[in-house]
Chain A
């Protein structure tokens, strides 16, 4: 059996990848997908703990997270679409009317 720590390291790594993606990519959609990677890294953690602790609730939580992530995707993509309609670009580094 694969020990718990392996799962945790992989999910931590996935989470870090997500964070790095958020920080360095310019395209809003890619950034958003990086956030999804972060959420799924968390899901992996939940499932691993759930198995390790022999407690079902961790897996139930994952369903909640997935649902929330889906809702987030709907809202997020809508926001990105409306920005695209107005300025025909989804590059976050061109979006800085508001500052100071």
Chain B
């Protein structure tokens, strides 16, 4: 028997390696330098992320499939790397102040954020279901811990436990789906599945269909689409606020990266079977999310969680539309969503008092008087989430709906337009509290430099993508084109 050593090209996974190395370094420094502050660890993490970003940009344009067909290097994965790193950097920036306030400033926090990001990158680059599965688990395990990072706080415990139990439950289905596809095609490689899946009949067909459906369940859970969405509000509410931001943006983007790759690249031949399911999930997500968000007044994090379900509905609509246009609209929207959603959470971090026991909308009364900049930024993010022009959210929605119309999903686009019309109502509710109520006593604090940087980045991104979306959309289209080979 002769062994063929797989070719190992570490350069191609340099972004992942930089992050991993930084994460380990953060762990080591935390363990062996007793007096290190969380601020310097955050700085270290950001430097590592920037190095990874540089490595990502350095690889731009290259295409290869490496590690015995496990990992692909293509513009698609590199685009997602940028989204993930952006999400991670923003998360680290808004975490510094939060960790100190809640007195949970441990170094593992940053290491886990970085590890989770590595997991996303592997998911986005994986061209084998096993690689995707490993990436998914690296991501999920880090997030389970991060959700419960406030060990003394019952809410955080509960959030972690729910996320863990339901996440592991979903993993079971996801894995079963892989097993069935493996049984039907004899491989977990996406290329092989693409070749074989379309032409199976009879028994093999049942396996393929079953496998595909179970994969849909797994992805549906990770992206929090109805009917696999119920964990979202509870987990977002209990988790540390920066982690809620991270989960709703970067982690979701990671799941969507694999979702797009598997369904648009590997299983397009079965579109006739999965399109109706996806359409149903998209409509349900948009409608149910909207209904739940409309009646949520108790907690802003829950409101953002419910509204994130609506946004997942839009993203699914883009995915469903398929092709370069649909795929690119998903990529663009994920990037835009990262800016505006993390931005919104950043303001929540800034305005929430220690312990965050009251995050009701009433807490935001009259914020505009005491914190005019924060109020203005928050309004910008909320209006962008609602899709008011000329913000990133508007352009993103416009791309998605126009892709849907071009793909002939007119009814779905109409549902999307209507839910986004309604969504302004609950987003504007927050703005009304900020601008049109008498101020309540909020602790007078100066935001940390890190938080200000994060806010500035998010504002810049939201405005930039709203006013000058052209070049980024081109990039998104190139990325999807590199994936679909068109």
Q: Is the interface of B mostly helix, strand, loop or mixed?
A: helix
The residues in A between 3 and 18 inclusive whose CB is less than 8 angstroms from any CB of B are: 8, 15, 18
Q: Does B194 contact A (CB under 8 A)?
A: no
Spot the interface stretch: B183-191, B261-269, B405-413, B419-427.
B183-191
Residue of A nearest to B147 (CB): A79
- How far does the alpha carbon of A15 sit from the alpha carbon of B176 in the complex, in Å? 9
The residues in A between 61 and 100 inclusive whose CB is less than 8 angstroms from any CB of B are: 61, 64-65, 68, 71-72, 75-76, 78-80, 82-83, 85-87, 92, 95-100
Q: Are A42 and B238 in contact (CB under 8 A)?
A: no
Residue of B nearest to A95 (CB): B158
Q: Are B144 and A79 in contact (CB under 8 A)?
A: yes
If the complex has contacts A72-B141, A75-B145, A98-B234, are A45 and B157 also in contact, measured as CB distance less than 8 A?
no
Question: In the complex, which residues of chain A have a beta carbon less than 8 angstroms from the beta carbon of B238?
Answer: 97-98
- How far does the alpha carbon of A68 sit from the alpha carbon of B144 in the complex, in Å? 14
- How far does the alpha carbon of A100 sit from the alpha carbon of B168 in the complex, in Å? 23
Question: In the complex, which residues of chain B have a beta carbon less than 8 angstroms from the beta carbon of A78?
Answer: 145
Interface size on B, residues (CB 8 A): 42
- How far does the alpha carbon of A39 sit from the alpha carbon of B187 in the complex, in Å? 19
Contact partner, A49, options B133, B144, B183, B302, Cβ 8 Å: B183
If the complex has contacts A49-B182, A55-B186, are A42 and B144 also in contact, measured as CB distance less than 8 A?
no
Q: Are B179 and A76 in contact (CB under 8 A)?
A: no
Q: Does B137 contact A (CB under 8 A)?
A: yes
Interface string of A8-34 (1 = CB under 8 A from B): 100000010011001000001001100
- How far does the alpha carbon of A96 sit from the alpha carbon of B161 in the complex, in Å? 11
Q: Are B154 and A86 in contact (CB under 8 A)?
A: yes
Residue of A nearest to B167 (CB): A72
- How far does the alpha carbon of A76 sit from the alpha carbon of B160 in the complex, in Å? 9
Interface string of B151-175 (1 = CB under 8 A from A): 1101101111110110011011001
- How far does the alpha carbon of A79 sit from the alpha carbon of B165 in the complex, in Å? 10
A89 to chain B, nearest CB (A): 11
A82 to chain B, nearest CB (A): 5
Q: Does A1 contact B (CB under 8 A)?
A: no
B273 to chain A, nearest CB (A): 21
- How far does the alpha carbon of A53 sit from the alpha carbon of B423 in the complex, in Å? 51
If the complex has contacts A28-B165, A61-B130, A97-B155, are A79 and B160 also in contact, measured as CB distance less than 8 A?
yes
Q: Are B137 and A68 in contact (CB under 8 A)?
A: yes
- How far does the alpha carbon of A31 sit from the alpha carbon of B165 in the complex, in Å? 8
Interface string of A32-46 (1 = CB under 8 A from B): 100100110110011
- How far does the alpha carbon of A61 sit from the alpha carbon of B176 in the complex, in Å? 12
Contact partner, A57, options B141, B176, B188, B233, Cβ 8 Å: B188
If the complex has contacts A61-B188, A97-B154, are A75 and B176 also in contact, measured as CB distance less than 8 A?
no
Residue of A nearest to B137 (CB): A68
Q: Does B237 contact A (CB under 8 A)?
A: yes
Question: In the complex, which residues of chain B have a beta carbon less than 8 angstroms from the beta carbon of A68?
Answer: 133-134, 137
Q: Does B148 contact A (CB under 8 A)?
A: yes
Q: Does B349 contact A (CB under 8 A)?
A: no
B137 to chain A, nearest CB (A): 5
Residue of B nearest to A85 (CB): B151
Contact partner, B157, options A15, A42, A86, Cβ 8 Å: A86
B positions within 8 Å CB-CB of A: 130, 133-134, 137, 141, 144-145, 148, 151-152, 154-155, 157-162, 164-165, 168-169, 171-172, 175-176, 178-180, 182-183, 186-188, 233-235, 237-238, 296, 298, 302
The contact sample of 9 A-B pairs, CB cut-off 8 A, is A19-B172, A35-B168, A52-B183, A72-B171, A79-B148, A97-B238, A98-B159, A98-B234, A100-B296
- Beyond A39-B175, A57-B182, A75-B141, 9 additional pairs, beta carbon < 8 A: A22-B169, A32-B168, A35-B165, A39-B171, A42-B176, A53-B183, A79-B144, A83-B160, A83-B161
